[in-house]
Amino acid sequence: MINELPLAPLGAGDLIDRAVRLYRRHLFVLIRTAAPPVIIVAGGWILFSICARKFFATSETSDLLLYGLLWVLSVVIMVAGYLFVLVVMGGATRTLVAHLLRNEPVTAKATYNAVRMRFWGLLGASLIVLIWICASFTAAFIGWEISAFLFIFGAMALANVGPAWLSAIVGGVGFLLATIVALWVFFFVVGRVAYVPQVMLVEGKDVFASVGRSFSLARGNVRRLMAMALFTTFATYSALMILLIPLGWYGYLSGVDPWNSENWPAWYAIAYSVLGPLSSIVLTPVWMLGLSLLYVDERVRHEGYDIELMAARQLGELPDVNVLSPLGTALHSLEGKPPPPGPPMSSGRVLNLS
């Protein structure tokens, strides 16, 4: 069956292949799902590019203040858009699990209904994830910068006592090793919080419990997370080049120098800023599906979640009594439930607690 999980855990290549196949099967639904947050990010980038050009071109103090404030506003809009992307990822995972469990249709409405039920909790969790990502990137970048500087400095020192080709090889290999180690450290740290939105909507946990749960699930996911990130990045930039080349040719024929951004007309600057988010709209669903499948695969590897899903499909779900997996429900209910009734009182006898 199409929506059946394989019993064997997914490797990096299998994960990408399954995400792409699901993406092809639900192409337009997934694009509609990813479009709202990416459009917000695109609006922020357009405002950012316009303000950046105007800020350095004007000499009026009032205009500088205005463009500076708009610049800050554009950054806020972009951050809000990226937070919204993380929020929607949680809803997309719930929709995927519901599709695997009950063969429910994959729709944008189902994703956003799930997001609406836990929006504020998802927003807080996504803010924690975004801060964690920024801190991890800063730490990894500083480590990479120091390591690359040491290797380059060592290669320069080696050039004074040895052949130039040897110093070039040492510098190049050291730079490459520093980059690989920095990427591994970044994804190792970021991977700890990769499943926070998914845990909230699939397992029904609160914000801090979801963070702890994500830490416990994220074991040995660095290679697959790196593979998904690199695949999505290269695919996004490939799509961007496909869109940029026609724009560059059209601008060149219209008298625009594509290499001199300071003299770009407004229409070209706006079109250039839109193309990046437009390519992201097409490829962001692959990243959403990849993280969703990675979360499911982690539970398959560590908890036998595929058996749990198959049992729920064949025998019906267990009562949602907040019991830990594998005895709990395969998909937590988002709707509030009344507390269970207390035990019946025996008639004719009163219990005295005094």
Q: Which of 30-34, 240-244, 286-290, 331-335 has the lowest mean pLDDT?
A: 331-335
Q: Are 293 and 10 in contact (CB under 8 A)?
A: yes
- pLDDT at 132 (0 to 100): 92
Cis-peptide, bond into residue 326, ω within 30° of zero = yes
This prediction has a pTM of 0.74
Token code pair at residue 58: 């004007």
pLDDT over 70 at 204, yes or no: yes
Identify the band that residue 341 occupies on the pLDDT scale cut at 50, 70 and 90: very low
User: For residues 148 and 179, what is the distance between their CA atoms, to the nearest angstrom?
Assistant: 8
Query: Where in the chain are the domains?
Result: 12-315
Which three-class secondary structure state does DSSP give residue 317? coil
For 197-209, what is the mean pLDDT? 85
Q: How many CA atoms lie within 13 A of 229 on its CB side?
A: 14
User: What tens digit of pLDDT does each residue of 242-291 get?
Assistant: 888 888 888 888 888 777 766 777 778 777 777 777 777 777 788 888 88
Task: Please report where in the chains the tokens 């267990």 appear, as a residue.
Answer: 318
- % of the chain beyond a pLDDT of 90: 0
Q: Which of 115-129, 134-148, 268-282, 326-340 has the lowest mean pLDDT?
A: 326-340
